[in-house]
Amino acid sequence: MIAAVSALVLSHRPAKPTHATTQGAQSGNPLAGAAAVRGQAVSWVAAQVGRDVSVACDAIVCSSLAAHGFPAGNLTVLQATAPDPFGSVLVIATADVRSQFGSKLSSVYAPEIIASFGTGASRIDIRVIAPDGPAAFGAAMSADFAARKSSGAQLLRNSRITVSAGARAQLASGLVDARLLTTIAFLAGQHPIDIVSFGAVAAGAGPGVPTRTAYLAESDSAAHLSGSAYVSALEAVLRAQSPPYVPLSFGSGQLGGQSVLQIEFAAPSPLGLLQT
């Protein structure tokens, strides 16, 4: 498979955007428009999906992902004879993939969308595969949602955690990733924390998809530490985590003019962590 994907990279390596390509996309050229949407989807997957996640995709998308540094060993090219996309965690549903699997793609094989790009025939959905079928997947999602909602309520009662109004609503609604909830609880056990906000989910994501990003204040008077010492202490805790609680990224940034520590986990959000 690695050799196959490597060969695809050589034969389908995407060209750098040109002025003509941009003009074509803006003028309604369907090929240029499809390429632009594909580029958005590939960039999102390369930046947001965990490198240990197996992804099924058509030949062009798989080669583009490999060219963007996604591990070739975790890419499965969906041949025209493939009966289903099972065996991977995600499937990138391009027009060709939708045509290949028909209505079963959304109703049976991969019912959950975590991100979507473009419209019409050029639309590309990033879907989570249901390895045990849609009924078992739906039950697992419902159980995970209930567990996230319960865990969020517990965090709201934690006296060591300050929560903004917006973040409070997301916690209470069960819309925060289980890894974030566990990490926040662990951080609060070490130092008082202030949740400024949670990030938005990707465009086109299903209604039950949780946010994977949190923004914490870079200072808390209750910690009795200077700002730099406080951030260093939080980052040390994050750096010491083990899978699946290793963040995709964390670091200082700005949010609405406020200095924040951003913590982000990779897609997709795993199910069942809070029940184990």
- 231-270 tens-digit pLDDT: 999 999 999 999 999 999 999 999 999 999 999 999 999 9
pLDDT, tens only, 182-230:
999 999 999 999 999 999 999 999 999 999 999 999 988 878 888 799 9
The order of strands in the sheet holding 124-128 is 75-77, 55-57, 90-93, 124-128, 112-117
Q: Which residue has the tokens 């809070």?
A: 274
Asked whether residue 123 carries a pLDDT value surpassing 60, the answer given is yes
| pLDDT score, position 224 | 83
Q: Which pTM does this prediction carry? A: 0.87
